Structure 1
Amino acid sequence: MFAPEAEAVARWRVARPSRPGRLPGVRMAGFRDRGAGPVDVRVVPHPAVTLALGFGDGPLVVDAATGRQRQGSLVTGFMHGAVRVRGERVECVQVRLSPVTAHAVLGVSPAELDHVAVTLDDLWGRGAARVREQLAGARSWPDRFALAEALLTRRLETAKTAVEREVAWAWHRIARTRGRVRIDELAVELGWSRKRLWSRFRTQIGLAPKRAARLVRFDHAAHRLAAGEDPAGVAVGSGYVDQPHLHRDVVAFTGVTPAVLAGRTWLAVDHLAW
């Protein structure tokens, strides 16, 4: 039986940019399945909006937790619950967007993408087909990454919407502390009421502040579990009250136990790509 990382290597060819990108809040990786049969993986929730720019012979299919199915180049919000990714002969550039950056790049708030997957055609119209053609015509992964970065740069430069500076600051503070900051403290530091922070943050980021902190903390813990660390140590080191608290959060976000989560192939792919 394959270990998760060995299985990920057997399933995917993963490409990474040779240098950090110039755009804040944007990370990229390239995926090409090795043709060893259909791809069918469960996605682990992550504190980013994901843009999958497909250009291969086979479509990428996402089965959302709501039961809705979409295929093609896709945009998914914060993935909660049993989200599946399927396909054959899949090739794509996957872009992870900070919710602060996603608001400008996509032209919609991540709040409108919560629990759903939408096609790029839905958001960008005919421009989505041009992106696919350009990526398919590129000769190498560096060329594809350069094309994707140029696309995102143009959209940022012409963006008509943006997250408020105070909301962006609150998100970055949550991310830097790995979800271990008190929301009341954020409101006090901003000089806002808790109600105002909750309303602005939820509308522009897509999650309530406390939920965002939980997701960031969970993400940190999930990667430590996948690295083989002891659940009790992960709980303490990630800011949970105790191991049962970690267990409850993992089940709430994924529907599985920490032991099952640690063996999920998607986390191994995550490690290879990012």
Structure 2
Amino acid sequence: MRAAEPARSGLPSWDIAVPSEPSRLPGVLMAGFSDRANDLAEVALVPHPAVTVLFDLGDNPLVVEDSAGRRQRARIVAGLAPGGVRGRGLAGSMECLQVRLSPLAAHAALGASAELGGTVAALDDVWGRDAERTQERLRAAGSWEERFAVAETALARRLDAGRVVDPEVAFVWQQMVVARGRVRVERLASEVGWSRKRLWTRFRSQIGLTPKRAAQLVRFDHAAHRLAAGQSAASVAADGGYVDQSHLHRDVVAFAGVTPAAVAGAPFLAVDEVAWAAGSTAFAG
């Protein structure tokens, strides 16, 4: 287990566990978070170009609330770009396993890509009884390594039996990730030999967002991490493909619901280098 203590004052300090070996499953990253000091009352989840699955393993349920005030507990799926999502800690220690799935992996493992775009849902509604069985095994595990193995086994079973994304859709998504969102969707449609309308329809049904929105999300993710690294909004806008700083500001507010300055201080971004050392390229798979 690695401990992460954000350098900026006022941020919570978590113990973070990461697998000793990279996952054998493409497009899958996992990390465990513990807050035994209970200094986490509430934290905003910054939108990310991955579908997030949370297994709550603490003393009391972690509550995740979306922008409409709907709440989910215990086993939670956060789809692509669900703005305004907040995690609320309750009395007692906080402990959870977080799994990040690329949209390609999520299509196979979760199945309901279009329905999960921009939403927060109960994993039980997607996996049925298997969601509860998986959490029971996670709670029974004696170490984080055992928990990672349990989660990987459950995901592998789902991935093997799941639906495969169209090769054309996978290619377009991979190009978005490699180019950090700075792509022309019409050109990508031409490259795969599809009409714009066909790409929009197939991509939306399998990834959960339109191609344009997905590219914007990937670009936003890189901008958010650069802001968190201490770069100025002006330089991030100039280097990130935004027309100007106002364009960056509008994009950040549209995705995260807060200003670039607030995103720069987001707790989860402060520990990303520890929790997700494999980097965003993992989400091309």
What residue in structure 1 maps to residue 159 of structure 2?
Answer: 156
The Cα offsets for residues 197-243 of structure 1, whole Å up to 9 and x where unpaired, read as: 11111111110101000000000000000000121111122111222
Report what 1:181 is aligned to. Answer: 183
Q: Following the alignment from structure 2 to structure 1, what is the Cα–Cα distance between the partners of residues 174 and 116?
A: 20
Tell me how far 1:5 sits from its aligned partner: 4.9
CA positional deviation for 1:38: 4.8
Q: 94, 99, 106: which is aligned to 2:98?
A: 94
Q: Which of 131, 137, 141 lines up with 1:138 in the alignment?
A: 141
Normalising by structure 1, what TM-score? Answer: 0.93
With over 3 angstroms needed to count, the CA separation of the structure-2 counterparts of 1:221 and 1:93, relative to structure 1, is same
Aligned counterparts, 1:77-92, within 5 A: 77-88=79-90, 89-92=93-96
Amino acid at match of 2:151: A
Q: Residues 6 and 13 of structure 2 are in contact (CA less than 8 Å); yes or no, is this contact kept in structure 1?
A: no
1:5, 1:22 → 2: CA distance?
A: 34
1:52 equivalent among 46, 51, 54: 54
> Is 2:111 aligned against 1:107?
yes
Letter in 2 for 1:69: R
In 2, are the aligned partners of 1:7 and 1:265 still within 8 Å (CA)?
no
- Report the counterpart of residue 118 of structure 1 in structure 2: 121
Q: 2:205 aligns with which of 197, 203, 206?
A: 203
In structure 2, list runs of 5 or more residues that go unmatched.
277-285
1:165 equivalent in structure 2: 167
Q: Deviations over 1:92-140 (max 9, x none)?
A: 211000111101101222x101232211222222212211111111111
**What does 1:31-70 align with in structure 2 at a 5 Å threshold?**
31-70=33-72
Query: CA 1:4–1:256 in structure 2 vs 1: closer, same or farther (change >3 Å)?
Result: farther
RMSD: 1.7
168 and 45 in structure 1: CA distance in 2 versus 1, 3 angstrom threshold: same
Structure 1 228/94 Cα, relative in aligned 2: closer, same or farther at 3 Å? same
Name structure 1 gaps, 5 residues minimum: none
**Contact 1:104/1:162, CA 8 A, preserved across alignment:** yes
Aligned length: 270
Cα distance in 1 for residues equivalent to 2:231 and 2:40: 31
- Aligned pairs for 1:229-244 within 5 A: 229-244=231-246
Give the drift of 1:66: 2.4
- Determine if contact 2:82/2:120 at 8 Å carries over to the other structure: no
Following the alignment from structure 1 to structure 2, what is the Cα–Cα distance between the partners of residues 247 and 269? Answer: 23
TM-score where L is the length of structure 2: 0.89
How far off is 1:169 after superposition? 0.9
Q: CA deviation at 1:264?
A: 1.6
CA deviation string 1:59-106 (max 9, x = no partner): 121111122111111111013321111123222211000111101101
Tell me the residue number matched to 1:29.
Answer: 31
